[in-house]
A and B are shown apart, each in its own frame.
Chain A
């Protein structure tokens, strides 16, 4: 069935997706909150930038990242200065690319959840002596549980499913950047349809189960917006 190389690819995919999702939740939460609350005039520009990976061909995103993070790119020069070398074709580069690629899948569900909460609970918390930060942790986070669940699952599964960006930025290096989608491509290229079937099947079942979990949880535990 699955070869050792397949298992390696699965494990690597899991690591990339977990790390990218964690980073996305940490960065995406304040970003989404800011986008919902700000009166900043350039808000639409920020929204458009966040949504860009939704419509851009992954290869285009991957191409720009490759150029940016390469030895002559701005980011590449910076990472070289810092003694980190360049990011393309490394595990770190793969994670950075995944974070950008999956950004809208995390930020948008959070924006929806934060918007649904509205001003009322925030004002109530303020009149009950809670500072804005306190309110965020004790009122906003618990009230947007379903938004976080959606964001985490979509972010994770979308990262698992990426291909174009990975190929451009990560390449095809066993145990370092060879994730499942690339491994399946390799199998098909080598006419190993049986192997491809095994991995593709794992991915299909996994994705379906995760989405099933998401929708059944949201259906039975809708977090009702407070009114």
Chain B
């Protein structure tokens, strides 16, 4: 059984949590929601830092909570790593001793090679003898991430690890997180309220509101669901996984392939065969009925309309399928009517801009 099953019911009077989730046991699952949506409470229930009176939690077949059978494993007996919003390092211990604190307490024999790999991955080799008070906010958070990772836990729980950092420090840590993803095979549950972090990190997305799960699914599927407020947001975007296939040095362009076709992007400094994540804002996508012969837009792709929803501001949100990749387009309702767009129609999408996420 390689999956995470998390069911919790909790009632604090003004706040109720009621979730029933099955999550993949690999990759990064982002728990997304506004403050008060219950995302941190859910994470704390998974860690056992909060005891939901009714709960069932199984991580890859290991039972951590089963309230029907009065089972509740205390936090220190759960094979997890937890990264708090504040780094929460032990002020009386050096960086090295902070890292060693958990290692001394696990039964599993510490793997020196892996330890060094993590230290190097997070770029904290030179900080080992320092006391936490002499670290910058970004360094502290990197040490905290390393401290959780060296335990080689069954699951890594991260509670808005970037929220307390300024945008520059965020950019300092995000690359480490995406590298983690590639190099360590530990499932991550990541809490955030930042759409940027969702687009950049999530493989699987859980949307929470008022203590309930609104939607859960693969990132591209969930982002393009028109019944969710996300699709109507001005910042609505689709995220595609692409592979670099060709550099057109003369034009300073790079050709990439995605599930359903190819795209030209501004030159990317990446080797052929590298996988990337790109983001396409819905407002950058326009729709034509025929291939325009004369257009300055390079990326024109055949697509099929799978759904259309009108919002209250004269905007139509169109969900399309380009090959196997879902795509969102925001167009005016007037255009939608002039073109007589309908579900099932074959059209062409023009993509005016994309941004690389990693």
A contact residues vs B (CB 8 Å cutoff): 120-121, 123-132, 134, 138-139, 142-143, 223-227
Contact = CB atoms under 8 A, between A and B. Distances in A.
A142 B84 CA distance: 21
Contacts of B81: 127
Interface residues of B, number: 26
B76 A143 contact: no
Contact of B88 (A121, A130, A131, A138): A121
A131 B76 CA distance: 6
B72 interface: no
B88 A124 contact: yes
B49 interface: yes
A34 to B, nearest CB: 19
A129 B92 contact: no
Contact of A142 (B89, B92, B105): B92
In order of increasing CB-CB distance, the 3 nearest A-B pairs are A128-B102, A127-B82, A129-B105
21 contacts: A120-B86, A120-B88, A124-B88, A125-B76, A125-B90, A126-B48, A126-B74, A126-B75, A127-B49, A128-B105, A129-B76, A129-B102, A129-B105, A129-B151, A130-B76, A130-B101, A130-B105, A132-B76, A143-B91, A223-B92, A224-B133
Contact of A143 (B77, B84, B92, B148): B92
Contacts of B76: 125-132, 134
B63 interface: no
A165 B84 CA distance: 50
Interface of B: 47-49, 74-77, 80-82, 84, 86, 88-92, 101-102, 105-106, 132-133, 147-148, 151
Contact of B90 (A121, A126, A132, A134): A121
B84 A120 contact: yes
A124 B84 contact: yes
Contacts of B84: 120, 123-124
B87 to A, nearest CB: 9
Contact of A127 (B80, B92, B132, B133): B80
A227 B48 CA distance: 22
Nearest to B102: A128
B63 to A, nearest CB: 18
Contact of A226 (B74, B80, B88, B151): B88
A223 B81 CA distance: 27
A120 B86 CA distance: 9
B105 A226 contact: no
A16 B36 CA distance: 56
Nearest to B107: A129
A226 B91 contact: yes
Nearest to A121: B90
